[in-house]
Structure 1
């Protein structure tokens, strides 16, 4: 599915936490946030999309999950944090090129016909979180487990997957049907990835030597050489050039998002605007990683993932007839769920994991932090139906976005106020319960904290829904002003 990913190492953040975040931009897919206990994890997993069956290990851990409400196409767990405080987001749909796909074709489902038996497909976005997250105790372990699954079962799509623990963030990208490449993010950097093969540097010597910060398929060197994939000059190894794409469609759909995020993270490091710009929205060589000019907080990642080219001629809400809306925004209407998996380093192990959840279009929705080490999530996040209603944050967020979009100029200040208030009150509740749980040693209070967080979100969401509904009603096209006195006369 089309998505946008942001990753942050612990020295790039304000509180030395690691963060991985991704918008899950499906086709208006209804989503919820739940906790999966070990006895709820299947022992044999079968993919709906590809029919592949995989026997799972016997020792799953508790983990959070953002599955689809409608299970007809599979689980699509999207993202989560497990009991070992390892986060995962899967997947960022990426791009490849014909040379790679010819050399290592995708493993696609082949239905039984003409007397031939069915051939199962590989694993994909539907499956990966369920297959990996319950069984890993570090971000590196996540890379190694997923890499082994890709080599054994293959995949039917190009994807990027992120893992984080208290100290490390890793990014894995698939290459063709069975190959992969992964890199540990430098601690002082922020990574941006908008639906393209992202990595623009890789140390093959480390990958085939100490394996400190780079991992890959065991035969990657031979795969590149035998299939004449290396397009690089002067000994430079740029995996984006080798495995990725440079298509005209990228310049409308992908590179503009990278341009906007880079512009926010490093506004003075590079020139982003004007005739002498280092990078434009259609540049193919926009950097993948940045040392941000100031440390980033969760709210900065929220801003990036809620953006629509504000402050530029490409903002669809700014009224620029010539350029407004020509590029695909990050904050898009069809997003189902977006999360930031934050693993903190300054609190006890039992409460290191915080998941910031945002349903619907990020431009208009609020981000709610919740503790992940809890036996279940409150109904306001987990009890989502396929029918529109106001009893959960998913559908309220959809209502707010659909109404506010139509009268952006009149609604947006109220929306900003709502988003800020949920952030402020959410952080206050987390600070309160961090202190209570430290002092008491009773970490079961995390469930109580989540209840309080959801009660706050319900209160604030009802208020913003009232406001945008009133504004949208006042601006309906069938309105008509005519003085009552005229009627009486």
Structure 2
């Protein structure tokens, strides 16, 4: 599915948390209702059959409880999307990403092939199952892993065995690490640890731009990959890195120049470490250990420049504003192919920053569809991050200063992100509040999902008239959420571990009740404001 992801390392976040966040967007012309759910071990299948690919696999007999954000309507699979398990491991799956013809020719996607003919008759060919995909990943991985690294290892093994029918990016987190895995063709994959002091921006495009094969084949400090990746790349001529010594030296000189600008106050030891690092990089490049996966496995298509790269540009423009992102002398433009996969932010990143970038529609630029700058052409030039078909936003926060039993918070928003608010919910519970868990097929304000869809559709028509209502709502809900977390953390600090889930459920319920009141109030205000602007209005009144 089309989505947008941001990952925030623990030293880059405002409170030392690891933060994984992703918009799940429906395909064009569709609006897939979403809901929250908690899956108990007894409800987890021991044999799993994928709806999309018809693949059947056995699952371990010792699953953990986990939270999720599945599709609300039955009949086409689970699509669990994002959640935490009892071991405080988070998973977000997936960011649909791009590839190229060379990769897909070297390792074709494993697609479902329907049966041909009639069973029992001559010429009948049975159906061939496909691989695993977004529909399946959370269900078959999250209940069974106890660290982010284990998540990469389990999913990697499943990909190598069963394959996938699509290109995907998947995030795993625990209190110490975030790992990002990208599928490469049908059976291959790479994974990279997010630096603790950095954030990652991911539109629907293969993103990793620096990979160390020697590390992936050795200690796996920051890189992991399918076992035969090097041989497969060599056999299919996929490494596009320029290995001429003068090219390598020029590239490293450019890197050093950029680092010097940010390390102006570095001491001698830091500079010596930097020199040593650059020597290692040079040796790795010349040995073929270091390469750019985005060049080898990804795409630089015209559609990327409309659909993908502008989103990364805007997120990094917001989080590193001093770098200069506009004008003819800017280092990066909305259509740049070399926007970094990760970078160190100018200041610590908050939950509110994450919500802002994942709701963005190019505010402050000529590309804002609601803006007054630019022209009609520029205002529709690029695909927004906060788009009409956002289905849900899950922000997975693991707080290192809290006891294990209440460290994980799953911040949730439903509907189009420019018109909604994030609400925090503790993940270590046996059920989620009905307001977020129950999303029926019929439209109703008893559902957080449907209420947000209604607000977005109404507010969009009179964006500027309604923006103040939405800003106040977002601030009030967010402030109440932070207060709820602070008060509940103190409340459960002295409880026995077995008592904590029930206390967290009560806190979630109180938060949901406040959320419902504020959402109903916002809906009333937006309905009134937009009704006044209906085209069949008339100034003369009969009162």
Shorter chain as normaliser: what TM range? over 0.9
* 1:114-155 C-alpha deviation (Å, 9 max, x unpaired): 411111000000000000000010000000000000000000
**Number of aligned positions between the proteins:** 484
Q: Which runs of 4+ in 1 moved over 6 A?
A: none
Aligned-pair CA distance for 1:271: 2.0
Aligned-pair CA distance for 1:383: 1.0
Alignment of 1:304-319 (within 5 A): 304-319=357-372
Alignment of 1:240-279 (within 5 A): 240-268=294-322, 270-279=323-332
Cα distance in structure 2, aligned partners of 1:95 and 1:192? 15
Cα distance in structure 2, aligned partners of 1:440 and 1:254? 47
- The SS at the match of 1:222 is helix
* 1:389-423 C-alpha deviation (Å, 9 max, x unpaired): 00021111101101000000100111011011100
Give the match for residue 473 of structure 1. 531
Structure 1 stretches lacking a partner, 5+ long: none
2:412 is equivalent to residue 354 of structure 1: no
Give the match for residue 511 of structure 2. 453
Contact 1:110 1:120 in 2 (8 A): yes
Cα distance in structure 1, aligned partners of 2:431 and 2:520? 23
* 1:84-122 C-alpha deviation (Å, 9 max, x unpaired): 100000000000000000000000001111411111000
Give the match for residue 299 of structure 1. 352
Cα distance in structure 1, aligned partners of 2:64 and 2:94? 21
Alignment of 1:80-95 (within 5 A): 80-95=83-98
2:194 is equivalent to residue 185 of structure 1: yes
Give the match for residue 43 of structure 1. 46
Alignment of 1:112-151 (within 5 A): 112-114=115-117, 115-151=124-160
Aligned-pair CA distance for 1:482: 2.1
Aligned-pair CA distance for 1:367: 0.6
Cα distance in structure 1, aligned partners of 2:380 and 2:351? 27
- The SS at the match of 1:337 is strand
* 1:33-76 C-alpha deviation (Å, 9 max, x unpaired): 11110001001000001000010001000000111111211001
2:212 is equivalent to residue 203 of structure 1: yes
Contact 1:50 1:122 in 2 (8 A): yes
- The SS at the match of 1:73 is coil
Cα distance in structure 1, aligned partners of 2:73 and 2:494? 42
Cα distance in structure 1, aligned partners of 2:39 and 2:149? 22
- The SS at the match of 1:336 is strand
Picking from 238, 261, 266, the partner of 1:229 is: 238
Aligned-pair CA distance for 1:316: 0.2
Cα distance in structure 1, aligned partners of 2:390 and 2:376? 25
Picking from 282, 286, 294, the partner of 2:339 is: 286
Contact 1:265 1:290 in 2 (8 A): no
Aligned-pair CA distance for 1:295: 0.4
Give the match for residue 30 of structure 1. 33
Cα distance in structure 1, aligned partners of 2:350 and 2:88? 19
Give the match for residue 170 of structure 1. 179
Contact 1:5 1:193 in 2 (8 A): yes
Cα distance in structure 1, aligned partners of 2:542 and 2:376? 38
Contact 1:355 1:372 in 2 (8 A): yes
* 1:436-483 C-alpha deviation (Å, 9 max, x unpaired): 000344413001001011011001101100100000111111111125
Cα distance in structure 2, aligned partners of 1:217 and 1:133? 20
Cα distance in structure 1, aligned partners of 2:330 and 2:485? 42
Cα distance in structure 2, aligned partners of 1:475 and 1:324? 23
Cα distance in structure 2, aligned partners of 1:321 and 1:55? 53
Aligned-pair CA distance for 1:209: 1.1
Structure 2 stretches lacking a partner, 5+ long: 118-123, 244-284
RMSD over aligned CA atoms reads 1.0
Picking from 449, 458, 461, the partner of 1:394 is: 449
Cα distance in structure 2, aligned partners of 1:465 and 1:298? 24
Aligned-pair CA distance for 1:321: 2.0
2:109 is equivalent to residue 106 of structure 1: yes
Cα distance in structure 2, aligned partners of 1:76 and 1:104? 25
- The SS at the match of 1:71 is coil
Q: TM-score, normalised by structure 2?
A: 0.88
Give the match for residue 61 of structure 1. 64
More helix per residue: 2
Cα distance in structure 2, aligned partners of 1:355 and 1:149? 26
Alignment of 1:375-386 (within 5 A): 375-386=430-441
Give the match for residue 18 of structure 1. 18
Picking from 484, 487, 493, the partner of 1:429 is: 484
Cα distance in structure 2, aligned partners of 1:399 and 1:483? 29
* 1:370-391 C-alpha deviation (Å, 9 max, x unpaired): 0000110110010110110000
Cα distance in structure 2, aligned partners of 1:86 and 1:440? 22
Cα distance in structure 1, aligned partners of 2:130 and 2:472? 47
- The SS at the match of 1:21 is strand
